Amino acid sequence: MARGTDRRTRSGRLAGDVRPAPGLLLLVVAAPAEAIAPLGAEPPGVPVAVVCLGRGEPGEAQALGSALAAARERGHRIAGEPHVLDPRDDAEERLLDLFLDLGPARVGTLDPDPESVAVEGGERKYAVVEPPARGAAALAALAAARAYQEHTGRPVYVECRRAGADPYASGEAASRYPRQSRWLTRGTDGRLSVHLLSAAGVLCWTETVPGGPDWGGPELLETPPELMPGLTVLQGSDGYVRLFGLRRATDKGAQALEVVTAAQYQSGRPLAPWQSIGNPNAREWERARQVGFPVAALDGEGTLHVFVRNVGRGISTRRQDRAGRWTGWEHLRGRRIADELAAVPGPDGGVDLVARRRDRAEAVHWHYDPASRGWAEDRTVPVRMVPGSLAAAPEAGGVRFRYADTNELCLWRPGAPAPEALGGADGGGAATGAAGAAVQGWSCTVLVRPGGDGTTAIGVHADGRPDTGTWWAPGGERSLVAPAVALDAGGRAVAAVLGTDGKPRVMRQREGAEGLDFEPWRAL
């Protein structure tokens, strides 16, 4: 079933090899069985190749062979037999050879920071319960993907499957780092920008003039080389774009992770220097490596609040005032939560944080009161959510999610007795939106989400009145991340996707059209 990988030159391919179709997904795993779950999460039609850094246990190769046969029946285009690396070779070097040979647009791999469990005893110690080869395979894949992009200039996007994830979980629910959703923004000069994290760093595309239609880019922004494959994009009322991520702090130990942030103050300009804001478990790096992914929000006073899930499955937060001063980490007491958080400005000038419970469909809610500068937990949240569907809804002061019992999209404003239905029960993943679009003389909120067939669906409802009904229509393009939407300088809605070929595309609301009508998709 599997084939070995003879060393290839970096200037060509082995005779007889067939180059896979554009948009190739390259799965890099430690052993054959670990490719089965991510393969099953992919929609039909995706071109896939598999690389194993070891042969695994007896029977694993046969199990993967059966999974690949089933994937072919579902319409996947499987690029030959799995590659198995020789353990005597340097994994990063051999992976780079394969990347150069195969030309992937995406890389799927494992969790570089496998989950650990508490060890019984007098001291609080944690032990990793997964084979170390899994984390090593992920780190080798990340390094090779970065080197490939730097060598070729071709963007490649990496996704890591979370340790211990349900084998049947969707890609959104099983991802170690959340898929980007808010990645299309409008700067202070009126130009739209796209910020996407590739293997080699943050890529930025920017409109050449406000309102388009032309774009410049991609420009590779200065990014720490150890940044993990996830990115949170925040934009406040000041128009500045703030980026947040996790960096592998090799200067503090091979396993250390820290939260980092950088700001872009003007569209199309370089980022300000990246700043470390640490890790709530920094005194114990073997625990700190399990920190969740950061989310952030600005309160009415302009104070920046950053949140992460800590190793104890609670919430840790820091805040930065307008003068740039940071508080220490504060630990919010509460129930055990999953790696799924959303932070939004509150109607009273404070901040609301909503998180999904770890082992059940419920959610928890904290509110920050700027007057008392304290946090209060609300344990009576009328929300039951599908994993991987929670997203901030800043234009409505609430959060969106899929209701666990029906898969229907909902909007919940903290403090409301019940969520409001938005329809769209087909599909999965998060929905994002932008308010203030003019549709037949009405001010409307435009929503985008993955549809039932995997392509983007476009929805619209009157601003602040989802109870009057949300109308959905097909958008016709798949996206590797949650589709995004923003208003351009002329007030027209612009939807954006990251195509399966790794190229972003946008479509703009047609000016003067009856109803919500869009121009054709345009590749950037």
Residue 455 banded pLDDT, cuts 50, 70, 90: very high
Residue 246 banded pLDDT, cuts 50, 70, 90: very high
Question: What is the gyration radius of the CA atoms in the chain, in angstroms?
Answer: 22
Domain that holds residue 407: 180-428
Digit-coded pLDDT (tens) for 253-262: 666 889 999 9
Question: What is the percent of the chain where pLDDT is above 90?
Answer: 66
Are residues 212 and 285 located together in one domain of the fold?
yes
What tokens does 44 get? 């039909």
The closest alpha carbon to 198, from 163, 150, 244, 238, belongs to 150
Are residues 298 and 421 located together in one domain of the fold?
yes
| Phi and psi at residue 441, to the nearest 5° | 85, 0
For the segment 392-399, the average pLDDT, to the nearest whole number, is: 84
What tokens does 160 get? 């890591």
Are residues 420 and 273 located together in one domain of the fold?
yes
What tokens does 302 get? 């302009």
Which pTM was predicted? 0.92
The reported pLDDT for the residue numbered 171 is: 83
Q: What is the CATH number of the domain that holds 228?
A: 2.120.10.10
Question: What is the percent of the chain where pLDDT is above 70?
Answer: 91
Digit-coded pLDDT (tens) for 405-425: 999 999 999 989 999 999 999
Say which residues have a Cβ less than 8 Å from residue 51's Cβ, sequence separation at least 6.
Answer: 5, 26, 27, 28, 29, 82, 83, 84, 85, 95, 98
Residue 15 banded pLDDT, cuts 50, 70, 90: very low
Are residues 346 and 458 located together in one domain of the fold?
no
Are residues 397 and 442 located together in one domain of the fold?
no
> What are the CA-CA distances from residue 155 to residues 105, 146, 220 (Å)?
7, 9, 10
Is there a contact between 301 and 116 (Cβ–Cβ < 8 Å)? no
Are residues 129 and 159 located together in one domain of the fold?
yes
Are residues 458 and 420 located together in one domain of the fold?
no
Strand partners, 125: 119
The reported pLDDT for the residue numbered 20 is: 47
Looking up tokens 């995706």 gives: 46
> What are the CA-CA distances from residue 135 to residues 109, 130, 322 (Å)?
9, 9, 39
